[in-house]
A and B are shown apart, each in its own frame.
Chain A
């Protein structure tokens, strides 16, 4: 059982929790994730690690209250316990010192992007970030990024905050202005990452993306998380979750993500 130390509502759909999880906290690195089960009989839900505190033995997760399990999670409060919490899973992001890097976040993607960019900044890399959201309230972590980013660009679909439009537009403008980036890290919905790659590929700007397909065990045991990268089948939970965006077959990933849509629906109905 894993104790909830803090809980915060980030916007109408997204919450943050700090959870006591010694094994994960001692070993996790940016890019890795955890799997939780809210209660006995619960689903195994993969969640990215947004932050960690080795002294406090704690790990911060950020989740969108979307399906059955995240709704249940959201009903828990500080002092309650999460039934299972296993991690860190996946490969740490391959980060090294560079001249300048740009991060592109879509929605909750800002959460896993945050520790990656912070680590790069700590290594002495100059970092820019473009954070996108549906509207002002869905733009996450802007203040946190400001602490170490040279430039924080904000975009919203409806123009309620920052620039009206998509992150890709800003990215294209930066490139057009002649800003030299050594690497781009994009984390968000599949369609957004696919579009980022469309922008960066013509310039051969190396782009890392983070995939979160359906997972069960998260240890390489089921193969449910398989994705096609560079023409080969990979298991996102052990070979990833970060992959070279130029190599990822986004279309097949989008098809596979649709797998249990119907059941998710039925399940919610079943629960009233």
Chain B
């Protein structure tokens, strides 16, 4: 008999006023008992709608059934048959828009907490199973992967499993892409990311850091000189957008990428124990309301800022961040200034002094289907701050397209691919993840990496 509780089993968390002062993980994860209790809420539907919501088709009811049976290793095997990075996805996927949004239990009450269960299974496996180095027969073919974010890592892992010799080229000194430099420690512990990457390396994948493709070596050179049989581009969308308003080059104005990179990749939160500093004032305004903005705001709070504002030109319903992040941010004391559009940053002696905003009201829906904000005449006012973090989105870095003849891109820089195979306009070259879609999600990037791996395999075996 299923557990008919209308609510999810709560996941233990650090209390808001404790955690907003440390960088430890916020959510602590289910215990074995809690996981089993939550798993019994699943109806094991014949036609599981949840799976339709999952971009990589994880056999959800199957793994949940294994959790009920307390066979956690089997649950892990079922998940990883489709998803190579479950400990990460269980933490950062927007489940409320994907699997959980479709779950029948959600019609009356809360859906099954698929994300928390996925996380539990992955963490249990990491804590208990021994790392194994599988014995894979090499097929003698070489594939180059550019970028070590979720798309590149997934593509590399899938190809290595099929016997390819895979080299991942990463521009930074550390693998992981946004998982390492963008998403903060308190949401996605970095040693966990490192473990997931080590698992992929165990499949025989070689990760070369400190190689900027386009500068250190070009794609044409990889194919013609280094004799790679195929190339996958998973270079992400790392180029920060700015507002282009006066005052943006004042001291104290950061892109979210700079702010988060200083903290996550360079461990600036440990300054002066580490040499990379990060400056955060008493009052911080973060412009934007996506996941990146929430991460920047919550990070600023943890670095000691007294007041942290989210400044966003649209309304509550349009906030693009995961619901859980918004909820956590509010609990931690982040102040939301919605329907406020920044128009100028004012400074004093070169440093930020305040951010001037115009109040907005919502008009008709625009091209994105969201109601278009319109300025309220004469409603300008200044918010006093000493740090401004711009988190209004990123676009693909132009380096690859500038140095790769024959690679077609959209006007905004996204690489054009055939969606069924991820093949680009250039022979033997595939692409996926944020560099194709623009800033999206971890799971979509992984899905693209997987699709590309399958297509590359088909292309190279038919040769």
Binding site for B on A (CB under 8 A): 23-24, 26-27, 32, 37, 41-44, 68-69, 83-89, 216-217, 219-224, 226, 228, 233, 238, 252, 255-256, 258-260, 263-264, 266-267, 270-271
Q: Give the CA-CA distance A85 to B266 in the complex, in Å.
A: 16
Minimum distance in angstroms from A177 CB to a CB of chain B: 40
A267-B277 contact, Cβ under 8 Å, with A43-B266, A216-B266, A219-B238:
yes
A43-B275 contact, Cβ under 8 Å, with A23-B217, A255-B251:
yes
| A86 contacts across to B, CB distance below 8 A | 171-173, 209-212, 216
* B258 proximal to A (CB < 8 A): yes
| B216 contacts across to A, CB distance below 8 A | 23-24, 26-27, 86-88
On whether the beta carbons of A221 and B277 are closer than 8 Å, the reply is no
Minimum distance in angstroms from B176 CB to a CB of chain A: 14
The 5 closest A-B CB pairs, nearest first, are A263-B277, A270-B272, A222-B258, A23-B216, A86-B210
On whether the beta carbons of A233 and B350 are closer than 8 Å, the reply is no
Chain B: CB-nearest residue to A43: B275
| A83 contacts across to B, CB distance below 8 A | 173
Tell me the chain B residues, 66-92 only, with Cβ under 8 Å from chain A: none
Contact with A along B243-284 (1 / 0, CB 8 A): 010001101001101100110001100011111110100000
A221-B173 contact, Cβ under 8 Å, with A43-B275, A43-B276, A216-B258:
no
| A88 contacts across to B, CB distance below 8 A | 215-216
Chain B: CB-nearest residue to A88: B215
Inter-chain contact total with CB atoms closer than 8 Å: 119
| A27 contacts across to B, CB distance below 8 A | 215-217
Tell me the chain B residues, 134-179 only, with Cβ under 8 Å from chain A: 171-173
On whether the beta carbons of A259 and B251 are closer than 8 Å, the reply is yes
A226-B277 contact, Cβ under 8 Å, with A23-B217, A86-B173, A220-B239:
no
* B98 proximal to A (CB < 8 A): no
| A252 contacts across to B, CB distance below 8 A | 249
Minimum distance in angstroms from A241 CB to a CB of chain B: 13
On whether the beta carbons of A41 and B277 are closer than 8 Å, the reply is no
| A224 contacts across to B, CB distance below 8 A | 254-255, 258
Contact with A along B273-298 (1 / 0, CB 8 A): 11111010000000000000000000
* B11 proximal to A (CB < 8 A): no
On whether the beta carbons of A219 and B240 are closer than 8 Å, the reply is no
| A89 contacts across to B, CB distance below 8 A | 212, 215
Tell me the chain B residues, 390-444 only, with Cβ under 8 Å from chain A: 397-399
On whether the beta carbons of B257 and A223 are closer than 8 Å, the reply is yes
Partner of A255, one of B242, B272, B350: B350
A221-B210 contact, Cβ under 8 Å, with A258-B251, A263-B271:
no
Minimum distance in angstroms from A49 CB to a CB of chain B: 12
Chain A: CB-nearest residue to B277: A263
On whether the beta carbons of B257 and A267 are closer than 8 Å, the reply is no
Some 6 contacts from A to B, beta carbons below 8 A apart, are A86-B171, A89-B212, A89-B215, A233-B244, A260-B279, A270-B273
